[in-house]
Chain A
Amino acid sequence: MQQNFKSSYNVHVVRILLTFVGMIIVGSLLRSLLLPSEFGDYGHYRPGAVTEEANREMRNKTNDSCLDCHYFVKKIHLKGVHEVVSCEVCHGAYSDHVKDGKVIGEMPVYRGEEIKSLCLRCHNKIIRARPPESIKMIAMPEHLEEKNVRTDHVCNQCHHVHAPYKWIKEAREMMGLPEKWEGGSSWKK
């Protein structure tokens, strides 16, 4: 194997090492170019993400926001036990309804049997897990039988959905039976 070689005995090793160093340099250059701005200033993350999350659109507002316009509902809703029930849970998110001060969509209003199933979502006695001190529960159709009404009645024929005792209290007042009710002018029990 005695012959003359053009390259030196270790040139391939040197070239590999140079390639390696070159790759590290290119790699670190690329890294500094591609790294998101301010990354790592507060921790191992992009601070911009905090601002983006903070600026997310608020889709649900509060009952106050809804009742600001719907003041006739306000007069009823805030006087009854259902004042704690959120408008948007039954009627959908505020931002689907109003945008930049303009009405952009109609919100669902439940009727008939839909109302019944909505009521029973909370007031159904057969779901035993409910703490009785938090909520009044009834069984269907026993409740209707007990009240001597037809069993095909839906809830809002007797109970105003926004203030469940409103009509009942008014009826009792008309018939001169107000003593069972406390709370003065409100329709809370």
Chain B
Amino acid sequence: MEEITKIKKEIDLDRRGFIKKVLSGAIGGSLLLVMPATAREIAEQIPGMKEQTDLFIADKKFAFVVDITGCIGCGSCCIADKNEYQVPDGHYRTWVERYIIDDHDEVYVDSPNGGLDGYTEPRDDIKNPIRDTFFAPKLCNMCENPSCVQVCPVGATFRTEDGFILVDDKRCVGCSYCVQACPYSVRFINPVKHTAEKCTWCYHRVRQGMLPACVNVCPVHARKFGDLNDKSSEVYKLLHEPHVISVLKPDMGNKPSLHYLGLRREVI
């Protein structure tokens, strides 16, 4: 503790210089030794989840809302997702698309490396003045009528009673039929495990009362996750008050639980 007081003092004396030293690693190493690195219980982001020990989550109906008008395309969600699941390169559980619409209604869409590396370059192939630009994050739609579950020949992908669509990687035969059937292309075959994989809305995190990794890191709160049975939740309010809100490919009849706030017709 004595050392900590010393460090505190040092911080107060010369904050800027001290941080610089920490960043350059001069003090950082010694700090690691003194800081108590105990795994403290982190506070629940979704209240009451830790008490739930049944096979399924009771009394909650989760929904996901993506705010197209808020997304800045930083790709934090993609980084968090790749960190969380160690997704092999070239495959995406979530990704961010960039839309640019010119005044001739020509739509330009791209998503280099799924937005994982961020958007650092402008598009230079747009000839006309730009009328609208936005980003559209994509992830599993958690359909009420999921095509992937319908077509899985062996029951390796399924919809739980609490509304999550999961993949049983111990039973998946890797036939790719679900990959073909998903209208949103959120599925892929993991090249290491040779089984189907997709976004689960971070089921394991939710079960421990934590928000999905992408929701947790979004700096502009463009990804929102919550319980529709809780009338005070943001997602409930968004879906029950007059907002410009829709789902992707509604004509597919899959009834997604993923909603888009401020969705433009150009987003497919």
Q: Which of A's residues lie within 8 Å of B, judged by CB? A: 36, 39, 42-47, 49-62, 64-65, 68-73, 75-76, 84-86, 88-89, 92-93, 98, 100-103, 109, 111, 117, 120-122, 124, 126-131, 134-135, 160, 167
Apart from the given pairs A43-B155, A129-B119, A131-B69, 8 other A-B contacts in the complex at a CB distance below 8 Å: A42-B160, A58-B204, A59-B83, A59-B213, A127-B119, A127-B121, A128-B100, A131-B70
List, in ascending order, chain A residues with CB within 8 A of B55's CB: 42, 47, 50-51
Tell me the minimal C-beta distance from B173 to chain A in angstroms.
14
Taking a contact as CB atoms closer than 8 A, the residue among A58, A121, A126 that contacts B210 in the complex is A58
Taking a contact as CB atoms closer than 8 A, the residue among A101, A120, A167 that contacts B38 in the complex is A101
List, in ascending order, chain B residues with CB within 8 A of A167's CB: 16
Taking a contact as CB atoms closer than 8 A, the residue among B25, B38, B42, B98 that contacts A61 in the complex is B42
Give B1-43 interface residues, CB cut-off 8 Å to A: 7, 11, 16, 18-19, 22-25, 28, 31-32, 35-40, 42-43
Tell me the minimal C-beta distance from B176 to chain A in angstroms.
19
List, in ascending order, chain B residues with CB within 8 A of A122's CB: 72, 74, 118, 219
Q: Which of B's residues lie within 8 Å of A, judged by CB? A: 7, 11, 16, 18-19, 22-25, 28, 31-32, 35-40, 42-43, 45, 55-56, 69-76, 79-80, 83-86, 98-100, 118-122, 130, 133-135, 155-161, 166-168, 170-171, 200, 203-205, 207-208, 210, 213, 216-217, 219-222
Given known pairs A76-B19, A84-B219, A121-B120, the reply for A62 and B98 (CB within 8 Å) is: no
A64 touches B120 (CB 8 A): no
Report the bound CA distance from A134 to B134 in whole Å.
12
List, in ascending order, chain A residues with CB within 8 A of B204's CB: 53-58
Given known pairs A46-B155, A53-B166, the reply for A121 and B74 (CB within 8 Å) is: yes
List, in ascending order, chain A residues with CB within 8 A of B16's CB: 160, 167
Given known pairs A56-B204, A62-B45, A128-B130, the reply for A50 and B219 (CB within 8 Å) is: no
A120 touches B99 (CB 8 A): no
A130 touches B73 (CB 8 A): yes
List, in ascending order, chain A residues with CB within 8 A of B134's CB: 129, 131
List, in ascending order, chain B residues with CB within 8 A of A126's CB: 121-122
